[in-house]
């Protein structure tokens, strides 16, 4: 599993994304004949000024790298927003699961471990783990 992005790192990614020139950026190659092909990345404003955002002259893969740079300008804000949304959803779900688990505590009685939150068809405490806890733990509730 890859290392998780920490909030400080995400904030740093957001800052550099916000500070960069407005997008979308476009990657282009200019063929200079025997002098080779020059790859560049343009923004809407840099095109007006006739200047590149980035000019790739030393890269081993100038075409692929210029496309990557241009794509990053559009992708980074979307990925940052998606990561924030997924994180908020995960935190919300974790809190909901915590509250459900609180309602189904493991307790001990004469017959062994039981759920302190629910009963079976005979109005007796459900055997541990109860269907709710089994479902939360990834098992089949009725198994």
Q: Which is nearer to Zn ion, 39 or 128 (CB)?
A: 128
Q: Which is nearer to Zn ion, 62 or 129 (CB)?
A: 129
Q: Which is nearer to Zn ion, 10 or 100 (CB)?
A: 100
Q: Shortest gap between Cβ of 110 and Zn ion (angstroms)?
A: 18
Residue 128: other Cβ atoms inside 10 A? 19
Q: Which is nearer to Zn ion, 83 or 118 (CB)?
A: 118
Q: Shortest gap between Cβ of 91 and Zn ion (angstroms)?
A: 24
| Residue 129 backbone dihedrals phi, psi, to 5 degrees | -80, 145
Three-state secondary-structure class, residue 85: helix
- Footprint of Zn ion (CB under 5 A): 104, 115, 117-118, 130, 132
Q: Shortest gap between Cβ of 92 and Zn ion (angstroms)?
A: 22
Distance set, CA 79 to CA 56, 73, 122, 134, 141 (Å):
25, 11, 51, 34, 35
My answer on whether omega of the bond before 24 falls inside 30° of 0, hence cis, is yes
Residue nearest to Zn ion (CB): 130
Beta strands in 87-141 (DSSP E): 106-109, 112-119, 125-127
């Amino acid at each position: 599993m890859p290392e998780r992005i920490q909030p400080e790192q995400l904030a740093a990614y957001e800052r550099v994304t916000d500070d960069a020139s407005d997008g979308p950026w476009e990657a282009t190659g200019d063929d200079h004949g025997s002098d080779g092909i020059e790859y560049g990345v343009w923004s809407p404003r840099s095109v007006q000024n006739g200047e590149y955002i980035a000019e790739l002259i030393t890269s081993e893969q100038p075409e692929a790298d210029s496309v990557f740079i241009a794509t990053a300008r559009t992708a980074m804000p979307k990925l940052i927003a998606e990561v924030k949304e997924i994180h908020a959803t995960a935190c919300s779900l974790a809190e909901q699961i915590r509250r459900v688990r609180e309602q189904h505590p493991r307790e001990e009685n004469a017959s062994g471990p039981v759920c302190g939150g629910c009963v079976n068809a005979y109005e007796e405490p459900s055997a541990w783990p109860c269907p709710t806890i089994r479902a939360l733990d990834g098992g089949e509730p009725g198994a």
